[in-house]
């Protein structure tokens, strides 16, 4: 008798599709809610399922968080690193990475909350490990680019590359926190170039050589 209540949405979907839809729903929800307070009921509601149905696609909540962390790590790494590989000069790669990273966050405002929330957990669960390894890999990439830039002669030779990598990630962090304080995550991309320009000034090869 009663036909489908949501006509355009197929009521039954494969576990694979439900999983990716759930992960994206979590990322979406984190943009407006503290991840720690996210209940399975709220998540299920966002996907369009009942709370119990969620556990047909994920064995438990922890595994769901693990999947979310994996998705974030993969997306962030691929999108940012890809942008870096499109340039020859290391300093240009760094700038492209920076802007791509900020853009990614701007498109998914919940991700800083997600990653910071994981890092805050004292227990070394799988999700936290994924986030940590992602950051470690990211920092190594930055250090590598800085050293390449030194070899290319575009970055000052005597620079503290480890510190510069920390400051690089810190610049993004500061931008994000500033966005959280002001409540406007939308204007991030607007401010990002100004921050990077200043950051780059800290290791720029000073063209004070008036040999000619």
Question: Which residues lie near a copy of itself (CB under 8 A)?
Answer: 32-37, 113, 116-117, 119-122, 132, 135-136, 139, 159-160, 162-164, 166-175, 177-178, 180-181, 191, 194-195, 197-199, 201-203, 206, 208
For the chain, the first-to-last Cα distance in angstroms comes to 89
Give the Cα separation of 64 and 28 in Å (integer): 14
Which of 81, 78, 74 lies closest to 20, judged by CA?
Answer: 74
Residue among 2 and 201 whose Cβ is closer to DNA: 2
128 is a site residue for DNA (CB under 7 A): no
**Partner in contact with 55, chosen from DNA, a copy of itself, none, beta carbon below 5 to 8 Å by kind:** DNA
Residue among 1 and 206 whose Cβ is closer to DNA: 1
By CB under 7 A, which span of 53-61, 88-96, 97-105, 116-124 interacts with DNA? 53-61
Helix ranges, 85-125 (H): 90-107, 111-120
113 is a site residue for DNA (CB under 7 A): no
Give the Cα separation of 185 and 178 in Å (integer): 9
Residue among 44 and 90 whose Cβ is closer to DNA: 44
Q: Among 20, 34, 60, 82, which residue sits at the site for DNA (rule: CB under 7 A)?
A: 60
Which of 67, 59, 87, 52 lies closest to 22, judged by CA?
Answer: 67
Which pair of tokens denotes residue 10? 């197929």
The DSSP bridge partners found for residue 204 are 155
Please give the residue ranges that form the binding site for DNA (CB under 7 A): 2, 4, 10-15, 18, 37-41, 48-53, 55-57, 59-62
């Amino acid at each position: 008798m009663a036909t489908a209540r949501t006509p355009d949405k197929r009521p039954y979907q494969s576990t694979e599709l439900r999983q990716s839809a759930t992960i994206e729903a979590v990322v979406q929800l984190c943009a407006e809610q503290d991840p720690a307070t996210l209940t399975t009921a709220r998540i299920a509601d966002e996907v369009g399922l009942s709370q119990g149905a969620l556990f047909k696609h994920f064995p438990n909540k922890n595994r769901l968080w693990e999947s979310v962390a994996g998705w974030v790590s993969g997306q962030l790494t691929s999108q940012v690193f890809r942008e870096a590989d499109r340039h020859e000069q290391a300093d240009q790669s760094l700038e492209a990475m920076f802007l791509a990273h900020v853009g990614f966050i701007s498109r998914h405002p919940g991700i800083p909350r997600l990653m910071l929330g994981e890092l805050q957990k004292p227990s070394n669960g799988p999700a936290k490990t994924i986030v940590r390894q992602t950051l470690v890999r990211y920092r190594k990439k930055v250090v590598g680019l800085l050293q390449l830039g030194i070899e290319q002669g575009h970055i000052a030779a005597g620079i503290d590359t480890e510190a510069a990598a920390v400051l690089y990630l810190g610049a993004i962090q500061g931008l994000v926190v500033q966005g959280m304080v002001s409540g406007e995550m939308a204007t991030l991309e607007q401010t990002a170039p100004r921050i990077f320009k200043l950051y780059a000034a800290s290791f720029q090869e000073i063209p004070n050589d008036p040999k000619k």
